[in-house]
Structure 1
């Protein structure tokens, strides 16, 4: 081996360690954005796996005669905190693309580390690099799937927290004119659906009348949307009617007989899960999830719908199952 290989290997391992610490903090942030408990458990395990990898990288650096930089974990937390703050004013897909870029960098550096370790005949580091390559390849595929889900209209495995949704919406309203299109209506309704708990909490501090007002306004809004859809369709304005129907579907306020699954309200969890698995159109999956979350909120059904959409997204993105 050349004399310069080991110092270069140590330098690269330190870079991977710094990026891994950032990855851990990002994973911790994403846990709060999990749509389902299954995704939350997966993200929690990913964060723990990241910590395990960081410890293994530290040991490898020490075994090679180097000293891990103590400031690395701190920089990782700072970088992830700044990233999270910046995301509040970003579209969610841009935030996920940032995550994907981080994982690609980790993957590419892990491959480089493997090449360096092979040249230095450091088999322990080669095995560590293989472990890193496997982990980051899986994460790249998972994030690619989530992005494909976002492209298909959701529901994604991740979603903004109410605070992030509110902050991001505020920034966009200040800086960008509103575009009233079918997609714009979908986004507006989705934002409205992610913030009711915050709104209800604030109103609840005042009086019970606040809760009544919220329910009344919600009912009036839903009825108005349904009536508007009927009127515009009867007048031949199908484009507008379709946009309104999309808004109602995204808000979970369709009638049961409008759902893509017949007699949906009569199905138990097992039957609903089986029916969801047969859906092939992403918009149908979205409609069922929105209705389920707005009415029964059965976690098994929501998780099954998320899994179904992930499968569709993987097919679109060309990721093997």
Structure 2
């Protein structure tokens, strides 16, 4: 196999992956949290399309046969991925995006060495351009994943199905699950220490049943009301974990009152002052609470963008990426 053949094979593989990359970027546009992120993703998709065209031109220059099948395969691959993404938590979808970018980066690096060896200056220049682009995308996705790990994501939102897959709806039922888990742990204790623990099981089971009934009773009133009631009941019963879980679920839904926000007097702040205050937060959880509150109540895009920037900075610190 000649060096030219290797170059052509790698360019074809890169074309397929780049077409897939473009289509995935376009599917992610709908998940953008802000207009700024939406513009960035649109630009990324357009840049991928330009890179695909450059790869196609280099293929022709090297004598590669014009390929009309590869672009279609790339689009099909992206479509299939987008469908399967909906059955996965968003972090899994993003990890797969990151895997694709690493493969593109590795192949571009290999292409560069092949081009240098074969003294193909244009192919080498193209490879260097691809390396720069994919390094930037790898960094961006790494930060987005770190945002998710810190309690986001700030840049991208999970689709409704991804929220289900990721367990967001399970948060609503966690007070009930906590009670059931308490019973399960008690039952496990019975098997280990014998009859004496049986009395404890009965006691815990009775409390769990009361707690579960109380939560279920409130479901007809509405999700927010049920969470608030579940939290009150949990605190009254001394179940701090369950209470905190219910509160976290409310925060996820943006169902918090102004006095629960991490910024004092937040509701009275102007848009500019609110954005400035958000930038001063140092806890990803606090920023997330503000984001959910804004999305649910005020919908001020500039404040949400400021919050996203703050989370991105915290995420970069977490993964060791310098600004």
- Please give the range of the TM-score, normalised by the shorter of the 2 chains: 0.7 to 0.9
Match of 1:105 in 2: 103
Rounded to whole Å, the distance in 2 between the matches of 1:218 and 1:307 is: 39
1:73-95 per-position Cα deviation (integer Å, ceiling 9, x unaligned): 10011101111111111111111
1:185-205 per-position Cα deviation (integer Å, ceiling 9, x unaligned): 9xxxxxxxxxxxxxxxxxxxx
Shift in Å, 1:226: 2.6
Is this contact kept in 1: 2:144–2:153, CA < 8 A?
no
Rounded to whole Å, the distance in 2 between the matches of 1:267 and 1:35 is: 22
Rounded to whole Å, the distance in 1 between the matches of 2:277 and 2:221 is: 29
Equivalent position to 2:227, from 190, 200, 225: 225
Is this contact kept in 2: 1:152–1:313, CA < 8 A?
yes
Match of 1:195 in 2: none
Structure 2 vs 1, CA of residues 218 and 235 (structure 1 numbering), >3 Å: closer, same or farther?
closer
Is this contact kept in 2: 1:31–1:44, CA < 8 A?
yes
Rounded to whole Å, the distance in 2 between the matches of 1:292 and 1:178 is: 21
Gap runs ≥5 in structure 2: 179-218
Equivalent position to 2:79, from 81, 87, 94: 81
Gap runs ≥5 in structure 1: 186-216
Is this contact kept in 1: 2:86–2:159, CA < 8 A?
no
TM, length-normalised to structure 2: 0.81
**SS in structure 2 opposite 1:261?**
coil
Is this contact kept in 2: 1:155–1:289, CA < 8 A?
no
Rounded to whole Å, the distance in 2 between the matches of 1:271 and 1:219 is: 36
Match of 1:134 in 2: 132
Match of 1:292 in 2: 294
Rounded to whole Å, the distance in 2 between the matches of 1:72 and 1:218 is: 53
Structure 2 vs 1, CA of residues 116 and 218 (structure 1 numbering), >3 Å: closer, same or farther?
farther
TM, length-normalised to structure 1: 0.81
Equivalent position to 1:246, from 245, 248, 259: 248
Match of 1:205 in 2: none
Rounded to whole Å, the distance in 1 between the matches of 2:155 and 2:8 is: 36
Rounded to whole Å, the distance in 1 between the matches of 2:94 and 2:221 is: 34
Rounded to whole Å, the distance in 2 between the matches of 1:167 and 1:257 is: 29
Structure with the higher fraction of residues in helix conformation: 2
Match of 2:7 in 1: 9
Is this contact kept in 2: 1:89–1:169, CA < 8 A?
no
Is this contact kept in 1: 2:109–2:131, CA < 8 A?
yes
Q: Which has the larger radius of gyration?
A: 2
**SS in structure 2 opposite 1:295?**
helix
Q: Which structure 2 residues correspond to residues 178-193 of structure 1 after superposition, within 5 A?
A: 181=174
Match of 1:72 in 2: 70
Rounded to whole Å, the distance in 2 between the matches of 1:166 and 1:262 is: 30
Match of 1:33 in 2: 31
Match of 2:94 in 1: 96
Shift in Å, 1:52: 0.6
Match of 2:155 in 1: 157
Rounded to whole Å, the distance in 2 between the matches of 1:178 and 1:294 is: 18
Q: Does 1:55 align with 2:57?
A: no
Q: Which structure 2 residues correspond to residues 206-217 of structure 1 after superposition, within 5 A?
A: none
1:4-28 per-position Cα deviation (integer Å, ceiling 9, x unaligned): 1111111111110111011111111
Rounded to whole Å, the distance in 2 between the matches of 1:90 and 1:161 is: 10
Is this contact kept in 2: 1:14–1:68, CA < 8 A?
no
Structure 2 vs 1, CA of residues 98 and 169 (structure 1 numbering), >3 Å: closer, same or farther?
closer
1:168-191 per-position Cα deviation (integer Å, ceiling 9, x unaligned): 589x99xxx999548x99xxxxxx
Rounded to whole Å, the distance in 2 between the matches of 1:155 and 1:297 is: 17
